[in-house]
Structure 1
Amino acid sequence: MGDLMKNKFLVCIDSDGCAIDSMTIKHKEAFGPAFIKVWDIDDSKKNTILDQWNNINLYSLMRGINRFQGFLAILTLHPELVDNEQLNVFAEWIETTKALSDESLREKYKQTGLEIMGKALEWSDLVNSKIEVLPLAQPFDGVMDTIELIKSKADIAVVSSANFSAIKDEWQKCGLFKLVDYFYSQADGTKSECINKLIGMGYERDKMIMVGDALGDYKAAENNQIWFFPILAAKESLSWIDLKHKYLHLFLVQQFNKEIQEDLLLNMKKNLS
């Protein structure tokens, strides 16, 4: 697949909450409410659990974790909802599965028949159906212009932990799909694994950068020894403007360095803590 390379530089971009303004509404209108329904949460606990879901997945350093990791995080806070042995099996699946996807979970449910696996699958299916009827998400201000500029100078890969059908729909309808060279989604493995696949195509690590809104995006970049640029939660448009007018140039002339990286990362952590 190395012959797909058009440029020596590659910019990897996360989708939900980074390029596309879809993350907040998905968590508040789909992920959280679906959890309440599937576990038949009592009204007295409903608001507490919804607040915990949103705080973990949107406003903490855990922002951007895979949906099943979020599912586990809430169940860990509420052990009364599930048998501890089943919770441990679910946690082990998260740690050992090759892909945190519906397909992998469905296979695990067939193997074990455990209630927690069935509930997680039911929840994930309900989340998908809720997302399908949400209003069409749009790119953050500044995204279109910046990605068009990137495309003129580098190859582009979307590297996301979201469902591919949702990513494809959002990127097609807003006109960004045609600008992307590669799409990697939930079923393709972790973000770290997906970046590693791109390195395997022949891109050099110092000519690759991951653009993301969560600490997990940074860790995926760090694991592969490539650069990282953060899109700050609630300051997304300003971040994209900064990328367009300053940091993209530094990356392309190879003056993006560890000191710049650390300053940007510190700002990201402060913004999420």
Structure 2
Amino acid sequence: MINFDKYDVIIFDFDGVIIDSMKVRDNGFKAIFSEFNKTDVEKLVKYNRLNGGLSRFHKIKYFHEEILNKDIDESVIHKYAEKFTEIMKKELVNSNYLIKDTVEFIKRNRDSKKLYIASGSENNELNYLCKELGIGDCFTAIYGSPTHKNDIVKDIIETNKYENSKVVLIGDSINDYEAAKVNGIDFVGYNNISLKEFSSNYVDKFSMIMG
């Protein structure tokens, strides 16, 4: 059983860990790419589910370059991303999407530990959603894309001079695991049992653990 007492800093992924947003995100991609072939869009949806920790900017580019085999300008990527953000801001302010198990864990630890969010979600949207959902003030800082998650985690550690052994990242995707590994910190998997293949640290329910 994992004991979080040894950590001073907990970095959370957002989608799939704090909020159950996968279907909403899937539908967002379907909406912004509604003029394209449905089979191609479904390939992107599948990619999205396997790579939850990557940003929409990356996924929009991936859709065009890897699935459609077409070039895409950065300006066009940002236009699609803005449309996606508009949809997310309208849909994800519903508190019913929050994962109560995680939120209760966050509230239990907000006064004794430094809590952060490092997410593939767009930074401004992420901060907006956390504020609207009433959880923003639980965190020391909230960071999102387009900065890559690996770099966000690195900046959190280096800027604050945290000891790596005192920092843990909680995530639900292989991208989260890689962000922890590349930065030399512990990783805890959540809400994705396939992560047990990569890490022995896995939480089924935060309500069942210490800390």
> So what's the TM-score if we normalise by structure 1?
0.64
Q: Aligned to 1:224, which of 183, 194, 201?
A: 183
- The answer to whether residue 76 in structure 2 is matched with residue 119 in structure 1 is yes
8 Å Cα contact 2:188/2:203 also seen in 1:
no
1:74 match: 63
**Do the aligned partners of 2:102 and 2:206 also contact (CA within 8 Å) in 1?**
no
Q: 2:154 aligns with which of 192, 196, 203?
A: 196
Are the aligned partners of 1:142 and 1:240 in contact in 2 as well (CA < 8 Å)?
no
Q: How big is the shift at 1:135?
A: 5.0
Mapped partners of 1:186, 1:69: distance in 2: 10
Deviations 1:60-89 (A, max 9, x none): 2x333221222233231222xx2xxxx3xx
Residues 24-103 of structure 1 mapped to structure 2, 5 A cutoff: 24-28=23-27, 30-36=28-34, 40-41=35-36, 45-46=37-38, 48-58=39-49, 60=50, 62-75=51-64, 76-79=66-69, 82=70, 87=71
- 2:17 is aligned to 18
TM-score, reference length from structure 2: 0.80
Residues 30 and 41 of structure 2 are in contact (CA less than 8 Å); yes or no, is this contact kept in structure 1? yes
**How far 1:122 moved relative to its partner?**
2.2
More helix by share: 1
Runs of 4+ in 1 over 6 A off after TM superposition: none
Report the RMSD for the aligned CA atoms in angstroms.
2.5
- Aligned residue for 2:131? 172
Q: Deviations over 1:13-53 (max 9, x none)?
A: 1112221122320221x2232023xxx32xxx22x123212
Q: In the alignment, which residue of structure 2 is the partner of 1:150? A: 109
Q: Larger % of strand: which?
A: 2
Mapped partners of 2:132, 2:76: distance in 1: 32
1:77 to 1:227, Cα distance in 2 relative to 1, 3 A: same
Amino acid in the other structure paired with 1:204: E
SS at 2:54's partner residue? coil
Structure 2 segments unaligned to the other structure (5+ residues): 1-5, 195-201
Listed as ranges, the gaps of 5+ residues in structure 1 are 1-6, 88-114, 250-273
Q: Secondary structure at the match of 2:100?
A: coil
Q: How far, CA to CA, are the matches of 2:24 and 2:203 in structure 1?
A: 20
Letter in 2 for 1:53: L
Deviations 1:126-183 (A, max 9, x none): 1122223225243113122111122243110111121223222322233211111111
Aligned identity (percent) is: 17
Give the count of matched residue pairs: 195
Q: Which deviates the most, 139-148 or 115-124?
A: 115-124
Larger radius of gyration: 1
- Among residues 82, 88, 92, which one is paired with 1:131 in the alignment? 88
Find the counterpart in structure 2 of residue 97 from structure 1. none
Single out whichever of 153-162 and 115-124 deviates more from structure 2.
Answer: 115-124
- Give 1:8 shift: 6.8
Partner amino acid, structure 1, of 2:188: F
